[in-house]
């Protein structure tokens, strides 16, 4: 079954996830979908200093939105902000330094942001990492899971009250097509059992994000939740975490702007906000979150158990102070 999933996924990827796949899909895009001004609307984007996150933030800044950049590296964040202000002419770009792998600090930031701001229209969960050797953060949590799943859960759950009282609220999570080869696993969230493979752990985290989006949509119908696959894009994160894949694909990879296109569309267009809640998107279209005959559907019991574990871990992180500063992760390792 694992071989079947991987073969079907790779063939699908060569056809759909590449630059050629984007160019073919974009022939059906409507320019008027993004002919909007979002002056007065606020957008929070994690991992906004490079790659898809920066491309997304830049596009939103050019449309007049207030941008809150969530980044780990101060110097890189300020440099990216300067680029956005210079190219967009929009000075409403703000930097917040948060390490998404340090869940206690994510919670502290979320609480502080709610005290200081009266609304948030759109949250874009873009930051992520692929650590290829098992590492733990200052709280003893495996870093891929802490960044890609638990950090996203804590940030989103904490900001839901602010989103609920804002106009046309949306939450968009940047997932990966790699999640299509994974069924939700619920008994090894910390990757403590068996051989550690960073690529598989990352894909499992991305499946977890899809499940989270579906559950959030059911519980919070006033907010439009979506999760998307950006395709195979040429970004610092891909070059760093998957060097062989990056070299093999070469100029067949999408640009960061092409990878960000559906994120921007989901964040800005009126059409996107009218789509059914909780769907998985690729190239501005809702697509299945499971490969045919791949047996990756989750049982109701597994989903409930998974959500209960996240709630328990989130509560524990709030009550346990961090023992290291938020720079615990290598600041040169890119978010994506």
- pLDDT above 80: residue 323: no
- pLDDT above 80: residue 54: yes
Q: 284 or 328: which carries more pLDDT confidence?
A: 284
**What is the Cα–Cα distance from 93 to 81, expressed in whole angstroms?**
7
Q: In the beta sheet, which residues pair with residue 279?
A: 226
Helix (H) / strand (E) containing 228: strand 224-229
- pLDDT above 70: residue 163: yes
Contact between 152 and 78 under an 8 Å Cβ cutoff? The reply is no
pLDDT at 318: 86
The percent of residues above 70 in pLDDT, for the chain, comes to: 95
Nearest to residue 180, comparing CAs of 288, 275, 272? 288
Contact between 155 and 128 under an 8 Å Cβ cutoff? The reply is no
pLDDT at 319: 79
Band of pLDDT at residue 15, cut at 50, 70 and 90: very high
As a whole number, the mean pLDDT across the chain is: 94
- pLDDT above 90: residue 170: yes
- The two tokens of residue 262 are 């559906």
**What is the Cα–Cα distance from 100 to 72, expressed in whole angstroms?**
8
Assign domain 2-328 one CATH number from 3.30.1360.80, 3.30.200.20, 3.40.50.300, 3.40.50.720.
Answer: 3.40.50.720
Domain spans of the chain, in order of start = 2-328
3-state secondary structure of 320: coil
- The two tokens of residue 132 are 């290829």
pLDDT at 55: 98
- pLDDT above 80: residue 287: yes
3-state secondary structure of 9: helix
Segment 103-161, tens digit of pLDDT: 999 999 999 999 999 999 999 999 999 999 999 999 999 999 999 999 999 999 999 99
Q: In the beta sheet, which residues pair with residue 287?
A: 280
- pLDDT above 80: residue 48: yes
Q: 148 or 334: which carries more pLDDT confidence?
A: 148
Contact between 263 and 174 under an 8 Å Cβ cutoff? The reply is yes
Report CA 200 to chain centroid distance, whole Å: 17
Contact between 113 and 122 under an 8 Å Cβ cutoff? The reply is no
pLDDT at 336: 45
pLDDT at 334: 45
pLDDT at 332: 34
Band of pLDDT at residue 2, cut at 50, 70 and 90: confident
pLDDT at 335: 46
**What is the Cα–Cα distance from 179 to 202, expressed in whole angstroms?**
8
Residue of 17, 153, 202, 335 with catalytic role: 202
- pLDDT above 90: residue 325: no
Band of pLDDT at residue 322, cut at 50, 70 and 90: low
Rounded to an integer, the average pLDDT of 82-87 is: 98
Nearest to residue 53, comparing CAs of 92, 20, 80, 75? 80
The model's pTM is 0.94
Q: Is the dihedral of CA 170, 279, 149, 25 positive or negative?
A: negative
Contact between 235 and 50 under an 8 Å Cβ cutoff? The reply is yes
Whether 202 is catalytic: yes
- The two tokens of residue 155 are 């940030």
Q: In the beta sheet, which residues pair with residue 215?
A: none
Report CA 86 to chain centroid distance, whole Å: 26
Helix (H) / strand (E) containing 307: helix 300-319
- The two tokens of residue 67 are 């941008």
């Amino acid at each position: 079954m694992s071989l079947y999933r991987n073969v079907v996924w790779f063939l699908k990827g060569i056809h759909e996830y590449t630059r050629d796949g984007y160019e073919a899909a974009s022939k059906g895009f409507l320019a008027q979908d993004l002919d909007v001004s979002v002056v007065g609307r606020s957008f929070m984007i994690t991992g906004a200093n490079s790659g898809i996150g920066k491309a997304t933030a830049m596009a939103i800044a050019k449309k007049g939105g207030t941008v809150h950049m969530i980044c780990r590296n101060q110097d890189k964040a300020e440099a990216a902000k300067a680029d956005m202000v210079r190219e967009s002419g929009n000075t409403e770009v703000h930097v917040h330094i948060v390490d998404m792998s340090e869940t206690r600090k994510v919670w502290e930031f979320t609480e502080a942001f709610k005290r200081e701001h009266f609304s948030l229209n759109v949250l874009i969960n873009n930051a992520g990492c692929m650590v290829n050797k098992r590492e733990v953060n200052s709280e003893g949590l495996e870093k891929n899971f802490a960044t890609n799943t638990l950090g996203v859960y804590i940030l989103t759950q904490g900001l839901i009250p602010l989103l609920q009282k804002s106009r046309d609220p949306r939450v968009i999570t940047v997932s990966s097509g790699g999640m299509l080869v994974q069924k939700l696993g619920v008994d090894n969230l910390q990757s403590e059992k068996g051989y550690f493979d960073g690529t598989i752990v990352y894909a499992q985290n991305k499946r977890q994000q899809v499940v989270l989006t579906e559950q959030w949509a059911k519980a919070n119908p006033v907010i439009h939740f979506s999760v998307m696959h950006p395709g195979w894009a040429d970004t610092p994160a891909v070059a760093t975490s998957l060097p062989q894949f990056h070299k093999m694909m070469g100029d067949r990879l999408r640009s960061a702007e092409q990878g960000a296109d559906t994120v921007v569309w989901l964040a800005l267009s009126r059409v996107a906000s009218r789509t059914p809640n909780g769907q998985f998107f690729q190239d501005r279209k809702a697509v299945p979150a499971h490969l045919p005959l791949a047996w990756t559907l989750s049982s109701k019991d597994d989903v409930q158990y998974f959500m209960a574990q996240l709630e328990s871990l989130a509560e524990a992180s709030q009550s346990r102070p961090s023992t290291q500063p938020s720079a615990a992760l290598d600041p040169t390792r890119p978010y994506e």
